[in-house]
Amino acid sequence: MKKLFSPKLLLLAALAGVAPTALRAQSAQGALPAAPPAAGVMALSLPQAVSYAVQNKSTLLATRLAEQTARARVGEIKSAGLPQVNVGANVADNFKLQKSLVDFSRFGGAPLQGTKLTAQDIAAAQAGTAVTLSPAYGEAPQTGPTPLAFGLQYAGSTSASVSQLLFDGSYLIGLKAAKVYEQLAQRQTQQAEIDVVEQVSKAYYSTLVARSRLALLGRNVQRLDTVLNQTRKIFKAGFAEKLDVDRLQVQRNNLVVEQQKAQRLTELSLALLKFQMGLPQQQPVVLTDSLGAALVDAGALRKRLGVANFNTGGGVAGTSALPGQPTATPGQENAAEQTRLDQQAALSGGRAPQAVAAGNYNNRVEFSVLETQQALAGLDLRNRRASAYPRLLLTGAYGFTGSDPRLGGLLEFRGPNSRSSRGFLNQNWFGFGNVGLTLQVPVFDGFRRKYQVQQGRLAQQTIEQGFNTLRQSIDLQDAQSRTTLVNALDVLDNQKANLDLAADVARVTRIKFNAGVGSNLEVITAETELRAAQTNYYGAIYDVLVAKVDRDKATGELYNQVKK
């Protein structure tokens, strides 16, 4: 034991505890740098863009750091149940020793003033008889308290202590809560990933629509240039007025300006996509998906939603009523109630509302997050109650204390076998050790635990109210996203029909103008209406794509839909 726990060893161990801190500080500065952007042009499909964003978006990286923090927190909680070992050392220069008052008169008593010897005592002593002499004492001096310093100028100590937790109700509950806390961090990361998928999907679709509209404007400029050149030739031949040429020139100038604006908006949409992905703006990219591939199958989508077709006015097969219109039922007694049930059936796509709600609740990560928070609140309440249980620890310590008039003498660490040059013992360090049990029993804390338990119960009730609010919010989002998607599909059908009509009108107008039976003003009007129909059509396409993303998010299927 003396070899294992010598004063020098304990002192060096205490001083060496400073070294790991410096090493950690140096290693923190040598953290890995951020990955450089990819060289060359990066080809991106929507799944690839989402995958890159999930791996590189800065907000997600911060969320994953919080997840790692949760894991570290779990390790911290578990470490409380492991042995706790501490080593300490202390060296002090008592340049002014603390003094205490001591009354020495209480220790010495009255002074001895001699012994009275009589003639009888002398005679008895000469006769061989033992004689007991009676000492004579004087009056004890009253010196009063005198200051006295204890100890030497230099003092030191070094020790090692260990403690082991044997029982703690809060620790056992904390182990369960640590695992739930880690699950909460994982679900929050999943929720952040879904938000990133939504943002990237909308930005990707916006770029596709802007790119397609820009290409269409380019074709419109080419077609208008053809009409303008033909009109100029007709004007030179004397069969058209200069006013006709000027009108077409004005229209072309406006179309070129619109094309330039569309070009800038396309670049801005691409910059927004890079931002949502966490991609550097300097990185060139090319989108590999086409707008035609991104368009959803409206018929299949309507069938899944269980809604009417815009053109037929019927249901999926053109036989059922439009959403929200009650269907007459033979023997119906309560028309208002039946209307409400029909509307619910339309909003749920023909499924029972209870089944739709249960499916949405289980698919939504927000619901899982709230369930995890509820589990944590329950464990927190149990932990507050467990604070009333006793706490038992096993403790032990071993160390040395020393003192000396000189600092050099204190650092000599003279043990029990040390002797001076004159042969006297001059030990200046002395060992000590102890082993014991520590029992902590909370008796009265001023009702602090009572109010903590009340707070825990109120926190649970708050989360239960949060469940009601979340269910209502999910139901509303489900109905709202479905209605928005249905309306967007109807608008898309309408705008597609308008675009076909406007294109046909423009085609016929150009034929009439080339044949000399139509006016230039009719051509300009038809081209203007065609561009408006094209703009509305692409706007409707974007609205459908965004509504589809919102619908997938509301049903909890967004991440899976993007991966397909």
Among 33-47, 78-92, 414-428, which range has the highest average pLDDT?
78-92
Q: Taking the domains of the chain in order of start, what are their residue ranges?
A: 291-367+448-563
Quick one: pLDDT at residue 292?
79
Q: Are 254 and 528 in contact (CB under 8 A)?
A: no
Give the mean pLDDT of 263-268: 94
In this predicted structure, which of 23-27, 144-148, 349-353, 385-389 has the lowest mean pLDDT? Answer: 23-27
Written in H, E and C, the secondary structure of 162-175 is EEEEEEEHHHHHHH
Q: How confident is the model at residue 399 (pLDDT cuts 50, 70, 90)?
A: very high
Q: Compute how many other C-beta atoms are within 10 angstroms of the C-beta atom of residue 440.
A: 10
pLDDT over threshold 50, residue 27: no
pLDDT digits (tens, 9 = 90+) for 185-240: 888 888 899 999 999 999 999 999 999 999 989 988 998 898 889 888 888 888 77
d(CA 511, CA 418): 122
pLDDT over threshold 60, residue 322: no
Q: How confident is the model at residue 324 (pLDDT cuts 50, 70, 90)?
A: very low
Give the mean pLDDT of 149-164: 90
pLDDT digits (tens, 9 = 90+) for 460-491: 899 999 889 989 988 998 899 889 998 998 89
Q: How confident is the model at residue 110 (pLDDT cuts 50, 70, 90)?
A: low
pLDDT over threshold 60, residue 5: no
d(CA 317, CA 312): 9
Work out the mean pLDDT of the chain and round it to a whole number: 79
Quick one: pLDDT at residue 325?
35
Quick one: pLDDT at residue 108?
64
H/E stretch holding 154 reads strand 154-168
| Model confidence, pTM | 0.69
Q: How confident is the model at residue 436 (pLDDT cuts 50, 70, 90)?
A: very high
H/E stretch holding 291 reads helix 291-294
Among 15-29, 70-84, 143-157, which range has the highest average pLDDT?
70-84
- DSSP3 helix / strand / coil % (the chain, rounded to 5): 60, 15, 25
177: tokens are 């809560």
What single-letter DSSP state applies at residue 377?
H
d(CA 248, CA 528): 11
pLDDT over threshold 70, residue 362: yes
Quick one: pLDDT at residue 242?
87
Give the mean pLDDT of 317-330: 36
Residue with the bigger pLDDT between 107 and 48: it is 48
Cα dihedral: 249, 251, 257, 262 (round 10): -140
Cα dihedral: 12, 13, 15, 17 (round 10): 160
pLDDT digits (tens, 9 = 90+) for 498-543: 999 999 998 998 888 877 777 778 888 888 899 899 999 999 999 9
d(CA 499, CA 534): 6
Q: Which residues pair with 88 in a beta bridge?
A: 159
d(CA 285, CA 272): 12
Quick one: pLDDT at residue 256?
93
d(CA 237, CA 234): 5
pLDDT over threshold 60, residue 345: no
CA separation (Å) from 374 to 452, 468, 474? 17, 13, 18
Q: How confident is the model at residue 130 (pLDDT cuts 50, 70, 90)?
A: confident
Burial 111-149 (b: 16+ CB within 10 A, else e): eeeeeeeeeebeeeeeeeeeeeeeeeeeeeeeeeeeeee
